Structure 1
């Protein structure tokens, strides 16, 4: 079901002839992801005649029960539809972990053990350094090649018309083309507290909110799916946007 359309803030526009669907932080909730994908298909059937672009804002893994299933769903979708998959800070941790097992306490604290479990890797509640090394080696061995390719090929950001899609946000005062990878995947307060306009409207996740946050300079679509049961999907077309 499509919520009534509103004007995109500050006069920004999506590219002509394209309806963009952007989905917020999924965090291992494959059931919610499949539900949102079905809702997109229903919306396209009800409002046909445009090219659809599906953008995923990052943080596909950790905390929820089926990180592996989420990645399988996205790989299959990407093989048949036009999609952009962005990198979140949780994927940064996953990619770094096999080469740096010392990251285990940081990754564990944000749900990394749930991701390992989804790949069939059991662990103690608080792995010590020796177990962390073993887990890193096991994960490197059992990670399917298609999943490795998915994680390694994630985009850091995506610009479309007057819209800029990124996981965490951008640093004020720095041109979009000069933003660092670290800021685009990790930044919070400097970005969230900035009230001025950026070069484009920033569509992001990373910082969970009870409802999508709509500001003149940004829209936050992370609604904590793993605990709220609400995975947000925004559509943007021309000068309008809404939620499904």
Structure 2
């Protein structure tokens, strides 16, 4: 019998959209449906904390859910753990606090709220740095913001994010946040590529043997490329979060009107 698996792409703090996607999946597959979450639960949207609470709550309740790591989840966890503001894979050198990455929105969901946009400065090293965080009339220093974040973010949330797996596979499918080096087997993949890759993956037409289901690269709408399916429809930018259902390598999107076939 063909296995039915549901998948949800990049959520980016959109708790209301996540609730709607889960309701669509339950209407199609019932409360015990197997769901793979493709990562990027945090940043940009208004309620990263609520998203993580929902995922942890579902797992603790015994739901058949698998949550994968996204690059934004790792950036958030690293900042809270040790104040790391940059990732080497962000070639622009942007700070995690830059609105394009959306870290300040994540902290706001935990009550670390800036009165205006964070104050950022690009320095001689080519990296953009947080220099001030307007909060409660005062401009807080970066080390103070880090301390506030460590106090506000529950240890259970950090542990959840840090222990997330990088991929999940079935007989027909590979689920991963960003993608793969298509010329390499899974056991040879660079863990950083699994949450960051674009170049060399998005343009590849190699048939990997299994359909690759991923997010990370935001589109206007989920799309099937033949050898891969990109489910990041841009929820982090306010576009709808559209879940998918896969049976073998056949794919449908779930809408309020039911399943809509997604084909190459």
Gaps (5+ residues) in structure 1?
A: 1-15
Greater fraction of residues in helix? 1
Whole-angstrom distance in 1 between the partners of 2:209 and 2:148: 44
Give a deviation string over 1:168-222, Cα, whole Å, max 9, x none. Answer: 0011211112111110000012100111111321100000111212012100000
TM-score by length of 2: 0.79
Which residue number corresponds to residue 128 of structure 1? Answer: 131
Q: Please tell me whether residue 82 in structure 1 is matched to residue 68 in structure 2.
A: no
Task: Give the corresponding residue for 2:96.
Answer: 107
Give the TM-score taking structure 1 as reference length: 0.86
Distance 1:178 1:199, change over 3 A: farther
Q: What is the root-mean-square deviation in Å for CA atoms of aligned residues?
A: 1.9
Deviations 1:83-127 (A, max 9, x none): 110100001111221354351652112000000000001236123
- Please point out which of 205, 226, 235 is paired with 2:236: 226
SS in 1 for 2:112: coil
Aligned residues: 225
1:65 aligns with 2:46: yes
| Structure-to-structure mapping, 1:7-18, within 5 angstroms | 16=1, 18=3
Equivalent residue runs for 1:143-222 within 5 Å: 143-222=153-232
Counterpart-to-counterpart distance in 1, 2:83 and 2:157: 19
Report the Cα distance in structure 2 between the residues aligned to 1:20 and 1:108, rounded to whole angstroms: 35
Contact 2:211 2:249 in 1 (8 A): no
**In the alignment, is the contact (CA less than 8 A) between 1:224 and 1:230 conserved in 2?**
yes
1:12 corresponds to: none
Q: Identify if the C-alpha distance between structure 1 residues 42 and 180 changes in structure 2 by more than 3 Å, giving closer, same or farther.
A: same
1:26-84 deviation digits (Å, cap 9, x = unpaired): 00000000001011111124xx9xx6311100000110011101111111112231111
